[in-house]
Structure 1
Amino acid sequence: MRRILHLSDLHYGRDDAALEEPLLATIASLRPDLVVISGDFTQRARRRQFAEAAEFVARIEAPVLSVPGNHDTPIDNLWRRFVTPFHRYKAYIDPVLEPSVEDDEMHVVGVNTVNRFSWQRGRFSRRTARRVCNVFAEAGDKLKVVVVHHPLEHGPTVEKRLMRGASAALSALSDCEADVVLSGHLHTASAAPFTAAPGLLFVQAGTGLSTRRRGETNNFNVLDVEAGRVSITTWGADELEFAPGESATYARGANGWERVAGEAEFSARPQMALA
């Protein structure tokens, strides 16, 4: 079994500083095999914000795989965003924009979905989808996980535009038998099979530290994974402590991922619909 802790949207520069120590302590207590951070380390991609985010990451007592989010590129300096959009991210967080981690049980691949020419909306190119599928072609029976910032599906209440190439990427990842997609961006937590690809599990993290909670508590996900089975628990902040909340377990069935009978649903689970 492997444990993945999925964290997203820290937004240093608009973070709740009082939650930083409780979050780090909870991460350490859960002893994950891998911590995934799916983008938006900063609010405005400024050096001080990146320095604070880098200090946070350095204190995580587990391997970390991260991808950038749209807030990790400058919004108020167009020249820098178009010419060197990831300079500070590479300097402070990770020089590799699309890292991967592999062990005996899982293969996790990061994808940079940030689109420098459309700051809010992301992009998942066909070339990127082919790259990910080529990596997974050698993964065998390992759990195959994709990490992105922008979701590949939106629920009916989401006002943000779905990123470019999302439909084609979802189809490609389904065809090459990816298992799980981890994403952020919307500041809401959920877990369900994709509507258009039930063989692919969509796990969405809320915001770990941002004050822009959009009606939720600050939270992160814990995935306990083994052959053909994934259990997801959302840990949310209660005052200055993080505690386990809603959970769901999915197992691979004849029609894709199916919720295990008797396990609690995500009460806030959205009705996923391809935009």
Structure 2
Amino acid sequence: MSNISYTNQIQILHFSDLHFGEYHICNPPPTASKKGIPTLADLIIDDLQIDFGGTVIDKTDYSDQKESPLIVAVSGDFTQKAKHDEFNEALIFLNRLSSEMLLNRRVEKSDIFFVPGNHDVRFADSTKDERFQPYCSFYNKFFDGIRPPQVSHKPEELTQVHIKNLEGNKVTIVEINCCIYVEKDTIDSSRGQVDYDSIKRLREELEKISSTEKDFNEYIKIVVIHHHVVLLPSFIEPGRGVDSIMNSGYLLELLSEHNFHLILHGHKHYPQIFNYEPTPLWSNSESKIPQVVIAGGSCGSRELPTEISNKACNTYSLITIKWHPDAQQARINVITRGLIRTAKRPLSPDLWKWETVNVTDRVITPYKTVPIVGVVNTEKITDDTERLKQYKNQKYHMPVIEVMPSLIPGQAYEARGWIVQHKPELYKGSLLEKVEWTAGEYFKKIICLRDDNPNFSFSYHYWGPMLIQAKMFFNDKSEAICYVYARMPKDES
């Protein structure tokens, strides 16, 4: 499956736990003025006017580059107490996102996806109709004329599957309402639950799409849900019980059957990322693509888990995902931005600023990209002269390469290479000063200098395998030429 004919790539702005209301970061004490305090929309939109690494540019290619389509996902808890004025603030926030330029692009309302959180229902009321009335009103106002209106006595219909084609990039986004049973003084007061009927209906819908959309394997598949689907130690709070999702095992199994790539959630204000790929060991099981789970933390609440980390801050993330259907490989890059509101002491709001607090870059695949060891014969080496001669010719400097899905829209793979010195403690000779990398007429020559780039690292983005040449220049005026091969990854299992 090394013949790559089609790739998908999109970017996602992931926000969670905005908590407009009493504990919102942009709300002053009750008797104080709001003048001089920016809104959350102001803070985020201003941050999205700068380049903090979200756009990958290939300077080695002669062709024009496109930007990835951009969508927005909000994984619940827009409000603190599901009050109408809090939902109005959330509505203003979403309307701002859909009317301003974000990372040089505009996001239409039809490309914004969200779910309710446990704080978005009036959990003191006893009926679903009463509990979901404010949220459904908010939902219908935002999606007026774009989606069918939702009724509060049928909150299960807030679980929806959306099939999108964004400039040729095929995407499936599933919004799952796990807050149907949230009610005060019950076991579900803060716990999430996806009941068996909801799982059945979701399975039927995904199977229907899979049977009618013959290219369903080509879609990037994303879930947006509020509560955490996997209980990690960092999500456990004393006195809160296990407030993850009831029946999450069945839900995760269903998502795995349909090769979902990303699960975006909120609830706990602890941002983190992990792969979910449990494999039962009492039998052989079909290899599935791992699911990457991203907890969004809190974008807007003052209530942060500072007892767990003194670096806790409000966060949002820019996620880039590239999917190779033929090769069954995905690459997921997550840039997390943190709002710095304190230094040695709390900062005045005009001094608040966003910083990149984490960058995570992962390649996921359901198979091994190296072959198993086959049948071999062995014999004693009698002459090692040529191999050792090559060491000396290259002055013990070796080119190495890693291949991964490219984050350049329209490209297939990235070949990232650099120079490794073999046993530097044993080699005291001339110093490598410059490396020129070339890969044929379709790519520009890359020149790396020691002072600027001590590893002589580079990358080429490509659609086919290629032989890459490294021409090395040493400070004693000597030169050496060597080669490394950039392959097209495939299933070697």
Tell me, yes or no, if the aligned pair for 2:122 and 2:130 is still in contact at 8 Å: no
The alignment status of 1:7 with 2:28, answered yes or no, reads no
- Could you tell which deviates more after superposition, 18-27 or 199-208? 18-27
1:245 aligns with 2:361: no
Q: For the residues of structure 1 that align with 2:116 and 2:49, how far apart are their CA atoms?
A: 23
CA contact (8 A) 1:67 1:110 kept: yes
- Alpha-carbon contact 1:220-1:235 (below 8 Å) kept: yes
Say whether 1:218 aligns with 2:314.
yes
| Residue 264 of structure 2 corresponds to residue 182 of structure 1 | yes
**2:17–2:267 contact (8 Å) kept in structure 1:** yes
SS where residue 302 of structure 2 aligns?
coil
Whether the 8 Å contact between 1:67 and 1:148 is mirrored in structure 2 is: yes
Query: What is the deviation of 1:189?
Result: 0.8
Task: Tell me which of 58, 65, 78 is aligned to 1:41.
Answer: 78
Larger Rg: 2
Change (3 A) 1:206 1:157: closer
Summarize the Cα distance change of 1:46–1:208 in structure 2 as closer, same or farther, 3 Å threshold. same
Match of 2:178 in 1: 113
**Which consecutive residues of structure 2, in runs of 5 or more, have no partner in the other structure?**
1-8, 27-36, 55-68, 99-106, 141-148, 151-157, 237-241, 280-288, 307-311, 324-329, 342-351, 369-403, 405-415, 418-493
- Where 1:84 maps in the other structure, the secondary structure is helix
Deviations along 1:44-95, one digit per CA (max 9) or x if unpaired, are: 001111111111111003231111111100133x23x533322111211344
Decide which of 117, 120, 127 is 1:69's aligned counterpart.
117
Displacement after TM superposition at 1:136 (Å):
5.8
Separation (CA, whole Å) in 2 of partners of 1:136 and 1:29: 39
For 2:275, the aligned partner's letter is: P
Aligned counterparts of 2:114 and 2:366: Cα–Cα separation in 1: 32
1:248 to partner: Cα distance: 1.1
**Letter in structure 2 aligned against 1:98:** T
**Deviates most, 195-204 or 118-127:** 195-204
- TM alignment of 1:78-227, pairs within 5 A: 78-79=125-126, 81-94=127-140, 95-96=149-150, 97-99=158-160, 100=162, 102-103=164-165, 104-105=168-169, 106-116=171-181, 117=183, 118-125=188-195, 126-131=199-204, 133-134=206-207, 137=210, 138=213, 139-159=216-236, 160-196=242-278, 199-215=290-306, 216-227=312-323
Aligned-partner Cα distance in 1 for 2:77–2:204:
23
The answer to whether the 8 Å contact 1:129/1:169 transfers is no
- Closer/same/farther in 2, CA of residues 46 and 15 from structure 1, 3 Å limit: same
Offset of residue 135 of structure 1: 6.4
**1:17-28 to 2 correspondences below 5 Å:** 17=26, 18=37, 20=40, 21-27=42-48
Contact 2:235 2:270 in 1 (8 A): no
The change in CA–CA distance for 1:205 and 1:132 in structure 2 (over 3 A counts) is farther
- Cα deviations by residue, 1:109-160 (Å, 9 ceiling, x for unpaired): 1111113352311112322541563366233311100110011101124324
Alpha-carbon shift at residue 195 of structure 1 (Å)? 4.8
For these two proteins, the number of residue pairs brought into alignment is 257
Q: 1:22 to 1:131 in 2, by over 3 A?
A: farther
TM-score (norm 2): 0.48
Q: Return the alpha-carbon distance in structure 2 between the equivalents of residues 185 and 46 of structure 1.
A: 18
Letter of the 1:130 counterpart: R
In percent, how many aligned pairs have the same letter? 23
- Secondary structure of residue in 2 paired with 1:86: helix
The aligned amino acid for 2:244 is L
Counterpart CA distance in 2 for 1:132 and 1:187 is: 32
2-11 or 56-65, which deviates more: 56-65
Match of 1:271 in 2: none
With over 3 angstroms needed to count, the CA separation of the structure-2 counterparts of 1:245 and 1:255, relative to structure 1, is farther
**Larger RCO: 1 or 2 (CA < 8 Å, sep 6+):** 1
TM-score of the two chains, using structure 1 as the length reference: 0.84
The separation in 1 between residues aligned to 2:205 and 2:267, in whole angstroms, is 21
Report deviation, 1:188: 1.0
